[in-house]
Amino acid sequence: MPDQMENNKTTGYAPINGLKIYYEVHGAGYPLVLIHGGGSTIQTNFGKILPMLAKTHKVIAVDMQAHGRTNDRGVPSSFEQDAADIVALLKYLNIDKADILGFSNGGQTTMEIAIRHPQVVNKIIIASAFYARDGVPAGFWVFMSEPKFEHMPQVYKDEFLKVNNDEAALLTMFTRDATRMQTFKGWSDEEVQSIKAPALIVSGDQDVALAEHTVKMHRIIANSRLAILPGNHGSYIGEILTPDTGSKMPGYFVAMVDEFLGEG
């Protein structure tokens, strides 16, 4: 589908790897890719900070497989495939190299890109992600062993249906994300240590990932910076579940990202 101009943004669908992957381009400058988390869309995760980031970056925001406006390819999701989809999208957009910001499962996709496709990466921001199964409390895996659709936050369901009014597609997204986490094996310390791109690792002090695990990730990625911020999963980016809609933390987060990406 040809790109369209809408509300000062460019939107389009890229026919890659068996998908018609939906993307938006906002702003101008060096490219910054935003990769959302599980159960989410561009807007649910990044609606608060995207306009701020677009003031100084060419922001490329994507709905991943089975999420939002992007279709499902009929096979389970994986971080390997998600990474390949982002690499293919950059090629489609004629972008040789980009900064990448991934939140939650998007952070895991970001790690996979940095490990397997370092040629397309300039700098990375890994936000609220973990790289090994012991990076979260054991109760997380107990919960994930039998996830129930009715436990999915209603606001995520509502936001999905706003952009893709298809109940079957919503259930497919839920199933894909649940299966991907149930089968999550993670990466070895050596694989994570192989990341050479400058990295900013960010987490909340009440996040899903254990603070100790986030610090360990920082220690083994040689060229990394670390920020553990007050808040829970996504509150520092103003994620849609954040109760404090008036918080100044998203602005502080964007300022930190801008400074990190602007460093020589």
Domains annotated for the chain, with CATH where assigned, are 4-262 (3.40.50.1820)
> What are the pLDDT tens digits along the chain (264 aa)?
446 555 578 999 999 999 999 999 999 999 999 999 999 999 999 999 999 999 999 999 999 999 999 999 999 999 999 999 999 999 999 999 999 999 999 999 999 999 999 999 999 999 999 999 999 999 999 999 999 999 999 999 999 999 999 999 999 999 999 999 999 999 999 999 999 999 999 999 999 999 999 999 999 999 999 999 999 999 999 999 987 888 999 999 999 999 999 986
pTM above 0.85, yes or no: yes
Least Cα distance to 129 among 70, 164, 87, 82 occurs for 82
Whole-number Cα distances in Å, 182 to 141, 143, 149, 150, 186 = 8, 10, 15, 18, 11
Reduced to 3 states, what is the DSSP secondary structure of residue 82? helix
